[in-house]
Amino acid sequence: AQSVAQPEDQVNVAEGNPLTVKCTYSVSGNPYLFWYVQYPNRGLQFLLKYITGDNLVKGSYGFEAEFNKSQTSFHLKKPSALVSDSALYFCAVRDENAGNMLTFGGGTRLMVKP
Amino acid sequence: EPEVTQTPSHQVTQMGQEVILRCVPISNHLYFYWYRQILGQKVEFLVSFYNNEISEKSEIFDDQFSVERPDGSNFTLKIRSTKLEDSAMYFCASSGGQTELAKNIQYFGAGTRLSVL
């Protein structure tokens, strides 16, 4: 079975400061990892993915995430937060050997204050 | 930029009624999905559809649910006899282009909020 944990319901940062949104996962095979963002009244918007290759992946809007196999983590980061980054962030995983089903974490609300 | 579109944005129905939620996936995509999110809970996988048949389904996707691709553009989710606990946001997604890597990104619609009274 595959699972995802986002340990923080909410993360608060000041504009201009770096941000980290945490994600850990569990799969039996190799993981395919994704971050999605949800703005109010909008769908899930793809941010970035890790499939293979470099452990540091870069995505939209200046976000990046680091795949750490030994810690089974895929934390989302951004060097300098913007107020407009405030949204709900979801981490998701697919097991390479288990079809196309995505398993999502519970989501982390990011609040960036001016 | 191509996007997945879902209609209606909000559907209100009485318990026991049938509802059909509609989705237009991205045009060259080959894999289609439904997920749901009950208020305050995680996004949960319901079903995936490829080559005109269900390829995976979760335990949630019981006999009350069905999916169909009635023509070349639409992908529908039908709930035959709605229950109060079916109230949720339902997301359609699609994936699959010409490359293996493209297959892996699922693009989501804005969702249909289903309220069962």
Sole residue written with tokens 């709900």: A88
List the pLDDT tens digit at each of the 114 positions of chain A.
889 999 999 999 999 999 999 999 999 989 999 999 999 878 899 999 999 889 999 998 999 999 999 999 999 999 999 999 999 999 999 988 878 899 999 999 999 999
Sole residue written with tokens 């999916």: B67
DSSP state for residue B117 in the 8-state scheme: -
Chosen from A100, A103, A108 to mutate, greatest number of chain B CBs within 10 A: A100
User: For residue range B1-44, what is the model confidence (pLDDT) as tens digits?
Assistant: 678 999 999 999 999 999 999 999 998 888 999 999 999 889 99
A88, A77 contact by CB (below 8 A): no
B73 at interface of A, judged by CB pairs closer than 8 A? no
Q: What is the distance of C-alpha B71 from the center of its chain?
A: 16
- Please name the member of A34, A51, A101 whose beta carbon is closest to the beta carbon of B101: A51
pLDDT at B115 over 70: yes
Chosen from A52, A101, A108 to mutate, greatest number of chain B CBs within 10 A: A101
pLDDT-derived band at B103, boundaries 50, 70, 90: low
Given this model, what pLDDT does residue B28 score? Answer: 85
Given this model, what pLDDT does residue A40 score? Answer: 83
Q: How far does the CA of residue A38 sit from the closest CA of chain B (Å)?
A: 9
pLDDT at B100 over 90: no
Sole residue written with tokens 């005109």: B52
Q: Answer yes or no: do A101 and B56 touch at CB < 8 A.
A: yes
DSSP state for residue B85 in the 8-state scheme: G
The Cα–Cα gap between B109 and A106 comes to 19
